[in-house]
Amino acid sequence: MSGFSEEEVVANRLIEVIGGSFISRRDGMVLIKVPCKGKTVIIWIRKSPITSSALKLFDKMIMKHDYDELILLKIMRIADYVKFSELNRRFSKIFYSIDEMLNECK
Protein backbone atom coordinates (compact mmCIF):
# COMPACT_ATOMS: atom_id res chain seq x y z
CA MET A 1 0.00 0.00 0.00
CA SER A 2 1.95 2.94 -1.29
CA GLY A 3 1.71 6.21 0.62
CA PHE A 4 0.69 4.58 3.90
CA SER A 5 2.82 4.25 7.01
CA GLU A 6 3.57 0.77 8.32
CA GLU A 7 1.17 1.46 11.19
CA GLU A 8 -1.64 2.33 8.74
CA VAL A 9 -1.02 -0.84 6.73
CA VAL A 10 -1.35 -2.92 9.92
CA ALA A 11 -4.46 -0.96 10.95
CA ASN A 12 -6.09 -1.48 7.57
CA ARG A 13 -5.39 -5.23 7.79
CA LEU A 14 -6.95 -5.45 11.26
CA ILE A 15 -10.01 -3.46 10.16
CA GLU A 16 -10.34 -5.68 7.07
CA VAL A 17 -10.32 -8.88 9.18
CA ILE A 18 -11.96 -7.78 12.45
CA GLY A 19 -14.02 -4.76 11.42
CA GLY A 20 -14.04 -1.33 13.02
CA SER A 21 -12.70 2.04 11.96
CA PHE A 22 -9.97 4.62 12.42
CA ILE A 23 -9.93 7.08 15.30
CA SER A 24 -6.66 8.64 14.13
CA ARG A 25 -4.30 8.15 11.20
CA ARG A 26 -1.66 10.68 12.12
CA ASP A 27 1.98 9.64 12.19
CA GLY A 28 2.76 7.90 15.45
CA MET A 29 -0.85 8.04 16.59
CA VAL A 30 -2.62 5.37 14.54
CA LEU A 31 -5.66 4.39 16.59
CA ILE A 32 -8.48 2.08 15.61
CA LYS A 33 -11.69 1.07 17.35
CA VAL A 34 -12.71 -2.55 16.78
CA PRO A 35 -15.15 -5.15 18.08
CA CYS A 36 -13.30 -7.92 19.92
CA LYS A 37 -15.06 -10.79 21.69
CA GLY A 38 -18.12 -8.70 22.47
CA LYS A 39 -16.09 -5.71 23.67
CA THR A 40 -15.30 -2.35 22.14
CA VAL A 41 -11.51 -2.14 21.95
CA ILE A 42 -9.22 0.75 21.06
CA ILE A 43 -5.90 -0.37 19.59
CA TRP A 44 -2.88 1.93 19.39
CA ILE A 45 -0.56 0.70 16.65
CA ARG A 46 2.91 2.06 17.27
CA LYS A 47 6.29 1.54 15.62
CA SER A 48 8.37 4.22 17.38
CA PRO A 49 9.34 4.23 21.06
CA ILE A 50 6.62 5.68 23.29
CA THR A 51 7.37 8.99 24.99
CA SER A 52 5.51 10.68 27.82
CA SER A 53 4.25 13.34 25.38
CA ALA A 54 2.91 10.58 23.08
CA LEU A 55 1.04 9.07 26.06
CA LYS A 56 -0.48 12.46 26.88
CA LEU A 57 -1.64 12.86 23.28
CA PHE A 58 -3.03 9.30 23.33
CA ASP A 59 -5.03 10.10 26.47
CA LYS A 60 -6.41 13.23 24.81
CA MET A 61 -7.33 11.35 21.61
CA ILE A 62 -9.34 8.63 23.37
CA MET A 63 -11.02 10.92 25.91
CA LYS A 64 -14.28 11.29 23.95
CA HIS A 65 -14.57 7.62 23.01
CA ASP A 66 -16.44 4.90 24.87
CA TYR A 67 -14.53 1.61 25.07
CA ASP A 68 -14.11 -1.49 27.21
CA GLU A 69 -10.42 -2.16 26.70
CA LEU A 70 -7.20 -0.53 25.47
CA ILE A 71 -4.60 -2.59 23.63
CA LEU A 72 -1.13 -1.55 22.47
CA LEU A 73 0.20 -3.21 19.32
CA LYS A 74 3.93 -2.51 19.02
CA ILE A 75 5.19 -3.49 15.60
CA MET A 76 8.87 -3.13 16.60
CA ARG A 77 10.54 -4.27 19.79
CA ILE A 78 12.19 -0.98 20.69
CA ALA A 79 12.56 0.24 24.28
CA ASP A 80 10.10 2.94 25.22
CA TYR A 81 11.01 6.14 27.06
CA VAL A 82 8.31 5.61 29.69
CA LYS A 83 8.15 3.11 32.54
CA PHE A 84 6.55 -0.28 32.01
CA SER A 85 4.13 0.64 34.80
CA GLU A 86 2.87 3.59 32.72
CA LEU A 87 1.99 1.26 29.85
CA ASN A 88 0.57 -1.47 32.09
CA ARG A 89 -1.65 1.10 33.83
CA ARG A 90 -3.28 2.12 30.54
CA PHE A 91 -3.26 -1.03 28.43
CA SER A 92 -4.82 -4.34 29.38
CA LYS A 93 -2.67 -6.12 26.78
CA ILE A 94 0.46 -5.38 24.77
CA PHE A 95 1.08 -7.34 21.56
CA TYR A 96 4.11 -7.44 19.27
CA SER A 97 2.63 -8.90 16.08
CA ILE A 98 -0.49 -8.60 13.99
CA ASP A 99 -1.02 -12.36 14.32
CA GLU A 100 -1.14 -12.11 18.12
CA MET A 101 -3.70 -9.34 17.80
CA LEU A 102 -5.84 -11.26 15.30
CA ASN A 103 -5.80 -14.36 17.52
CA GLU A 104 -7.00 -12.23 20.43
CA CYS A 105 -10.10 -11.11 18.57
CA LYS A 106 -11.10 -14.34 16.84
**Residues paired with 32 in a beta bridge:** 22, 43
Element (H or E) spanning 53, and its range?
helix 52-62
SS3 17: helix
* Residue 64: domain span: 6-104
Reference 91, options 103, 99, 101; nearest CA is: 101
pTM for this predicted structure: 0.94
Q: Is pLDDT of 28 > 80? A: no
Q: 11, 33, 36, 15: which is closest to 23 by C-alpha? A: 33
* Residue 98 backbone dihedrals phi, psi, to 5 degrees: -65, -35
Say if 61 falls within a structural domain. yes
Tell me, yes or no, whether 26 lies in a domain.
yes
Q: Can you give the CATH number for the domain in which 21 is found?
A: 3.40.1350
Q: Is residue 1 part of a domain?
A: no
- pLDDT at residue 30 above 70? yes
Residue 2 pLDDT: 64
pLDDT single digits (tens) 77-91: 999 999 999 999 999
Q: What percent of the chain has pLDDT over 90?
A: 91
What is the number of structural domains in the chain?
Answer: 1
Buried b (16+ CB within 10 A) or exposed e, 11-45: bbebbeebebeebbeeebbbbbbbebeeeebbbbb
Measured CA to CA, the distance from residue 65 to residue 21 in angstroms comes to 13
Average pLDDT of the chain to the nearest whole number: 94
